[in-house]
Amino acid sequence: MFDFTGKVVLVTGSSRGIGRVVAEEFAACGARVAVHYHSNRTAAEATLAALPGGPHLLVSGDVADAAAVAAMVEAVVAEAGRIDILVNNAAIYEDHPLAEVDYDTWTASWRRVIDTNVIGAANASYCAARHMIRQGGGRIVNVSSRGAFRGEPTGPAYGASKAALNAMSQSLAKHLAPFNISVGVVAPGFVETDMAREALTGQSGVDIRAQSPFNRVARPAEVAYAVLFLASERAEFMTGAIIDVNGASYLRT
């Protein structure tokens, strides 16, 4: 359905979950994929080994570390010769309900989440876009969340980080369009991943699935499809768009 033959794609946080499936789908469509991980090298190597085609590559680094982000992007360009598509998928979620945590816990949680989910994505976008400008164009797709719109009561830093990611994406979409770089956003709700397994177990899972009229949560492949669509050639004029993938569990106007 999509053809990414000859394209080099960096997917942050692609050792497992949504990122892994995004990497697999790009590889299946002919792309050369850079699988990124922070600490779980074993999982990243398993993802790399499962990708069709290739040769693909492995890069590591903490996206909250500006120097590590720059090194990650440069490693991709050094090995693959270019970078055509960046998918900012790496993110963290932390519970820190205001009425229940002390001030140090509150401030530390905000810093970790914002550094990873917003500043990390901003820095990766900067480093990748500078190469894309020299190459004559590219694509950036950011993975956000419905939490940016409906709120995250026990994880407000996460909700705020995803709202900031949306705003950043739209700002970059306007700035980078003259350089033939489009920027899009995919905003999932709950997705069937290892990270969500506990929340989707028992009565909590029943309640979460009932939020959608489909009575289920998203499959990783459904999120990946939206990412690949925004990265495709024909979606260029959708730059700045935010695609919801939440099964009508939250409808925004």
Residues labelled as active-site residues: 158
**220-231 and 17-28 helices, crossing angle to 10°:** 50
- 165 by Cβ neighbours in 10 Å (0-12 / 13-18 / 19+) ranks as buried
Sheet holding 85-88, edge to edge: 57-60, 32-37, 8-11, 85-88, 138-143, 181-188, 242-245
Tokens describing residue 8 = 């080099």
Tokens describing residue 236 = 């260029």
Which residues lie below 8 Å from residue 213, measured CB to CB, with a gap of 6+?
247, 248
Q: How far is CA 252 from the centre of its chain?
A: 21
**87 - beta bridge partners?**
11, 141
Q: How far apart are CA 66 and CA 158, in angstroms?
A: 20
Which residues lie below 8 Å from residue 145, measured CB to CB, with a gap of 6+?
158, 159, 162, 187, 188, 189
Q: How far apart are CA 53 and CA 251, in angstroms?
A: 38
